[in-house]
Amino acid sequence: MSCEQCHEREAVIHLTQIVNEQVTTLHLCEQCAAEKGVESPGSLPKTPLGTFLAAMEQTPAPRAAETCSRCGGSLQDFRETGRLGCPDCYRSFEVNLRDLLRRLHGSTHHMGERYTEGGTAPPRERHQAAELREQLRLAVETENFELAAELRDRLRVLE
């Protein structure tokens, strides 16, 4: 049976959906299924990082500009090694990494101790409210409203 989507490759995934009490079955090849966001159990890598790297494999090759201006590392390098080249890579590949961090950690926001060079940070407790306010600002900015609500509640308790 050929894929109902591309009519080229062999259909290997048979997706049964129930919409408005109507049962429909879709026959898809692995590639078209992946595009529709359906993953076959066999293709599921074991770790979130593996899932992300596998997903990156399927996206088109990065443009030439997608190298870090500081270290020259590329997304391709990251794909191969699972390691970034330098601290600036976090800025260079911010969009891709944000997505990865959400999958890996369920969040992109550091909630732990904040580092100030020279280490003159005030004691943790005093610092906490300022920290939460900054995180709240970032959460609103990035439209992460779920996190923002949580942060607002924590601020209320603190203040």
| Residues contributing to the site for other proteins (CB under 8 A) | 49, 70-71, 73, 81-87, 90-91, 97, 100-101, 104-115, 117-120, 134, 138
Q: Which is nearer to other proteins, 9 or 154 (CB)?
A: 154
Smallest gap from Cβ 114 to other proteins, in A, equals 8
Q: Which is nearer to other proteins, 19 or 157 (CB)?
A: 157
Q: Which is nearer to other proteins, 29 or 100 (CB)?
A: 100
Smallest gap from Cβ 64 to other proteins, in A, equals 19
Phi, psi of 150 (to 5 degrees): -65, -45
Smallest gap from Cβ 50 to other proteins, in A, equals 11
Q: Which is nearer to other proteins, 13 or 73 (CB)?
A: 73
Smallest gap from Cβ 6 to other proteins, in A, equals 34
